[in-house]
Structure 1
Amino acid sequence: MIVGTAGHIDHGKTALVKALTGVDADRLKEEKARGITIDLGYAYSDLGDGRQLGFVDVPGHERFVHNMLAGATGIDAALLIVSAAEGIKPQTVEHLQIIDLLGLDRGVVALTKADLADDDQLLERMAEVETLLAATSLKGAEIVPVSALTGRGVDELKTRLLALGESSKGATGFARLAVDRSFVLSGAGVVVTGTIHAGEIKVDDRLLLTPSGLEARVRSLHAQNRPAEIGRAGERCALNLTGARLSKDAIRRGDWVVSSELHAPTDRLDVELSLLTSEGQPMKHWSPVHVHLGAAHVMGRVALLEGDKLAPGDTALAQLVLDEKVGALAGDRVILRDPSAIRTMAGANVIDPFGPPRNRRSERRLAELAALAEPDSQVLPKLLRLETGFVETGRFGLARNLRPVDVDKLLQAAGGAKLEGFGFLAETLAAARKDIVDTLKAHHEAKPDAPGLQPERLRLALAKRWPPAVFKALLDQEVKARAVMVDGAFLRLPGHSLTLGARDEALWREISAELVRERFKPPRVRDFANAYSVPEPEMRKLLQRLAKVGRVVEVAPDQYFLRPVVAEMIAVAHAFGREFTAAEFRDKLDNGRKVAILILEFFDRHGITIRRGDLRRTVPQKLEQYGPAGAASTAAADR
């Protein structure tokens, strides 16, 4: 467990840590010279049962509160220091406010310099501290008079600290360490120190630095100041890192060392924000603030989501819009200070680390945030019953540092099911299936001579309009179940097909046979009309109907090719394996320059080829836009 000291300057924090651990946490020359803690100091102690307690000695001077915050957000319990000789001071109050805003409810108060006060003074100080704690998360905390000089109360304080228990940080989930120091150690290389907030880090693990994305391998590590093979959540660790682009200057306080699954830098945090009662005036929408999260310190603005002002002592939903990206996850605690960094103003709990830039105040979004504020075990039942009707399981797991198997368990417990990366309630899936089938059925009844609906037209026609990716997952399921059939570019129900009259069917057999024989240079509409003594408008209408169901493709006005032939011609163009000319393409098809140019211009329009002067090249992603290059000679029979 990590214990953080807190309190006013010169109230004896560093001396008390030394009495508890035997280690002087003031490590900088300037700290020694000035007699105050400027930066974070660390010390460790075995308090009697083999477990190591780590102590973070934070600065008590108001000028260095930003350094205090870099250590405070990684601690499990607080050791609040109050001098028996001087009593409560400004930084005592601010540090306690920070402890309260961080939600720390485990702690002990050390009434230091007890040798300088008599019994009456000690009782008076204890009463003052109890009153101060009454409205905070440390209400009821033990108060122990101690003296680092005489040793009074030190053993009792050790016992009280040990009774606080072990770290409550999550052992499950992917690894995540908040960097508060980075330096180069002679003979070892780059070393970072920090607290593991989740998961485990092992020697030889390959990790990423967030937000930079730099790759790093763990060469060796120390956990709680001891050489180890593994560091666990709740332990302070020093990691010796190596990587191709890694250097001391490439890492800064506030970075995270994370498993690759957690690398997702963000600059918009949707939070539940609480403004301190001590603030003299309401916080306005878009107020500039200093934002402290983990060991990071960045500037940002507060976008209030439930009004334009937040009164002192009130809590509301807000979005923190940061000037630079940070690593953040749901459940992280944030401290906000005023633009001049003089005072602590507010605290926040991250609900969604990936807040949207638009519609953040919409009724739908506020309902979603209310559901996301629930604990892991309760969030999905509420989230899946919202108007949206689905959860993106990968994003949900990332935001809360849940492994896929744990997300699946939560989804199952909520009565849901996963479909191509999205979670739904069973009743939602059933309703979506019915909606798809009913919409296609209604279309067939209204337009019996139409082939069906194109996918996007179907999506927009549904009673519930799903986002494209979600609709695709739902549709794929119906296609696999053969409840919906894919017919060229159209979707239809299994019992529906475009049927031609006896005369048109006989005419199509003749036309398709001709299209196979002259597959690279087919006759035009007027040629078919003259050949079979059919009025040209009637012939054109027939071929247009056939194009709608994907049997033929109109490459140029009144110039139709069988669909498999179009796929074959794309394959011919791609087979060059390089840029090619129209003449080379014409020679391969042996169909004359004019028709070859018409085909290539069609390819250009549909992004199948890219033209540069007289040269073209194919686009690999478009090669199967009209299906695989099949045998065109069987096209008529297949139809």
Structure 2
Amino acid sequence: MNHYTIGMAGHIDHGKTTLTKVLTNIDTDRLKEEKERNISIELGYAPLKLNEDMEVSLIDVPGHERFIRQMIAGVAGIDLVMLVVAGDEGVMPQTREHMDILRLLGIENGLIVVTKIDRIDKEMQELVELDIRESVEGTFLEESPLFFVDSLKQIGIEDLKKGIIKELEGRASRDASGAFRLPIDQVFTVHGQGTIVRGTVYEGTVNEGATLELLPQKIRVRARQLQVHHQPRESGRAGQRVAINVGGVSKEEIKRGDVLVASGFYETTQTIDVALTTVSKLRYDIKQRGAVKLHIGTSEVYGKIVFFDRNELVDGNVEVVCQLRLNEPVVTRRGDRFIIRRPTPTETIGGGFVIDPNGKKYRFGQETVSNLKEKMVATPEERVFQLITDKKMITVKALSKEINLSEEELVHLLNERDKFITLPSGEVTSEQVLESLKEFIQADLERYHAKFPLRQGMKKAEIIQTYEPTYPKRLVEWILELETNRNLVVYGPFVASSRHFPHPPAKWEKRVAQVLKIIREEGLKVTALQEHLANQQIPKELHEELVFYFHQQKYLYQIDEKLSIHTDPFTKAVKSLYEQTNDTFTLKEAKEITGLSRKYLVPFLEKLDQLGLTVRKEQDRKWRVTEIENWLS
């Protein structure tokens, strides 16, 4: 199954919503105000069923200039655009602005739909097509197929559907590798379920139950349930429209423009180095440090533009490297597309792509411009590094294909640079990826140890499951098994920080020590462990953890469900019994030597069997000499 997102674009009242309804059988104008005014205000979404091999989401964007923010948010993550032009009006101002925005966002695939053809004759259709073809000349839509439709009478709809299939066929779904990222464009609540967010997945995959992070707030949340167009799913991937029921956050804490990401893999920024291309004609000059409004993903953030080789931008259709300094943090990465607009008087200034999401303060002058241009045109090494950062681990063959470099050249580059590491499996990663993963695991372990100080460590399987959506399982397992990794210690199925040792919470440390002291003094005839914990007024929620801790650390030996004997008297009794009996001994002999009643003796001897120190033969027991001597030593 391939997953695609198609965006509708075009001037207001050119029939986008009606066409969406005919294609999907869904009215995307759901708000009362939209129905009363008969215009789209918010983004509308609907599933478009074309064939069994495609899962398509259709986004209907508002056409009014007042709602340009919604339009940009809607088309920012699409795979294909349908430019809608009404036959009786032709190309209009918002048609042109939408085309500018699509071009600047790097949209490369589209088709053109002429609606309302019932209002024009054949001769007018030819004139409209000529007008459109002239308007899209030199753009990505120049060679795009054009369809004439009457949405109300459903004329031309089947041809349009076939055209969409043809445009999408053979086109790969968006790459779902890398860390999950979903820019949020809708947030609401559902009674009995809580907070729901929606958006188009830009990167990676998300699974039901995953722990995610809400940025820029840095709030940890859980993906309790997932839906794709109202259908429950266990996972969502890049290219899909996904609704996520998030736990751990309220609706009031989220807004459109926030980003839901794989926990620990993205940072926020307020200074971005960019490559900017302006629209073909600027109505007003752009002053140095002038106020701008950045649209990136679904975010809309105010800031200022900083030039390094001029004090103003006068001409249109100009390419320039510059910097955006924002009033609020955003989530972005190298290569992300953006649009900037003037806040007042409003107009689209231009758009481009992010060179460096973590820009610094630079000096004004040509040196800075040259450095930014060098960063913009990445070297093969930089491209390899970026791709490995995204993929985390990749074969040389796949890497060669992705960056258009021969395997021989690539192997030479990898061998020359210490920053790249070839794993035993033959796949390639980088020192930075490994160090980042180690740091993430270390941070998770520190949080786990702080929450559960009594436990030996975190389950290895739980760590692998946490990182598997973003990091390949083999890479996580390899990190955990690295003998040179001094910060982590593996204890069988558990992993711990090398700095951690299981211990009671400081507040209860003295009372826990008192419990152990009392049990030790009781010898073999002990009181139920839970009674001792209760007598010391240790909180009940700690009891189970403490019982596990006592036994795991071998402070106590558990002889039945309630009774546990301190290690010292237990070891002393076993040694005494071994020294005073032959290879085989009876229950009576054991009773005489230990002085225990049947209540304590039977579970005591059964514990010896469980430890592998003795073997029961009918009513007698036989010592396993090698095992008991090793145990006593």
TM over 0.5: yes
Where does residue 204 of structure 1 map in the other structure? 209
1:185 aligned residue (190, 195, 204): 190
| In 2, Cα distance between equivalents of 1:320 and 1:52 | 37
Q: How far did 1:138 drift?
A: 1.7
Q: Is the 8 A contact 2:178 2:392 kept in 1?
A: no
In the TM superposition, 1:302-451 aligns within 5 A as: 302-310=305-313, 311-340=315-344, 342-359=346-363, 363=367, 365-374=368-377, 378-380=379-381, 402-406=390-394, 414-415=413-414, 419=418
1:261 Cα deviation after fit: 3.7
Separation in structure 2 between the aligned mates of residue 78 and residue 371 of structure 1, nearest angstrom: 32
Under a length normalisation based on structure 2, what TM-score does the superposition of the two structures give? 0.61
Deviation at 1:62, TM superposition (A): 1.0
Partner residue of 1:226 out of 219, 222, 231: 231
The amino acid across from 1:131 in the alignment is E
Q: What is the CA–CA distance in structure 1 between the aligned matches of 2:416 and 2:392, rounded to whole Å?
A: 13
Query: Residues 131-210 of structure 1: matches in 2 within 5 Å?
Result: 131-165=134-168, 166=171, 169-210=174-215
Quick one: distance in 2 between partners of 1:30 and 1:401?
46
- Paired residue for 1:51, among 38, 51, 54? 54
Q: Is the 8 A contact 1:290 1:337 kept in 2?
A: yes
SS in 2 for 1:164: helix
Q: Does 1:28 align with 2:31?
A: yes
Rate the CA distance shift 1:179–1:417 in 2: closer, same or farther, 3 A. Answer: farther
Match of 2:184, SS state, is strand
- By how many angstroms is 1:49 displaced? 3.1
TM-aligned CA deviation for residue 173 of structure 1: 1.1
Residue equivalent to 1:298:
301
Kindly provide the amino acid, as one letter, of the partner of residue 380 in structure 1.
E
1:242 and 2:230 are equivalent in the alignment:
no
Q: Secondary structure at the match of 1:356?
A: coil
Displacement, 1:362? 6.6
Q: Shift of the alpha carbon at 1:284? A: 2.7
In the TM superposition, what whole-angstrom CA distance separates every residue of 1:184-211 from its partner, at most 9, and x where no partner exists?
1112111100001111111111111111
1:592-616 residue CA offsets vs partner (Å, 9 max, x unmatched): xxxxxxxxxxxxxxxxxxxxxxxxx
- Percent of counterpart pairs with the same letter? 34
Unaligned 5+ runs, structure 2: 404-409, 423-505, 507-633
| CA deviation profile, 1:204-261 (whole Å, cap 9, x unmatched) | 1111111111111111111244321111111110011112xx1111111011111124
SS in structure 2 of the partner of residue 234 of structure 1: coil
* Counterpart selection for 1:72 from 75, 93, 99: 75
User: How many residue pairs end up in the alignment?
Assistant: 406
Deviation at 1:78, TM superposition (A): 0.9
Q: Read off the aligned partner of 1:56 and give its amino acid letter.
A: I
2 CA distance for matches of 1:219 and 1:54? 22
In the alignment, is residue 120 of structure 1 matched against residue 119 of structure 2? no
| SS of the residue 2:239 aligns to | coil
- 2:258 pairs with 1:255: yes
- CA distance change for structure 1 residues 208 and 307 in 2, over 3 Å: closer, same or farther? same
Q: Which amino acid aligns with 1:64?
A: F
CA displacement at 1:422 relative to structure 2: 11
Contact kept? 1:329, 1:401, Cα under 8 Å = no
Q: Distance in 2 between matches of 1:284 and 1:414?
A: 43
Aligned position for 1:586: none
Q: Is the 8 A contact 2:43 2:62 kept in 1?
A: yes
The amino acid across from 2:318 in the alignment is D
Find out whether 1:91 has 2:90 as its counterpart. Answer: no
Mapped contact 1:80–1:107 kept (Cα < 8 A): yes
Change (3 A) 1:128 1:143: same
Task: Kindly state the Cα deviation for residue 307 of structure 1 after the two structures are TM-superposed.
Answer: 2.7
Structure 1: 5+ residue stretches without partners: 384-392, 424-576, 578-639
1:532-582: CA deviations, max 9, x gaps? Answer: xxxxxxxxxxxxxxxxxxxxxxxxxxxxxxxxxxxxxxxxxxxxx9xxxxx
Give the SS at the match of 2:390: coil
Cα displacement (A) at 1:367: 4.5
1:173–1:413 Cα change, 3 Å: farther
Root mean square deviation of aligned Cα: 2.6
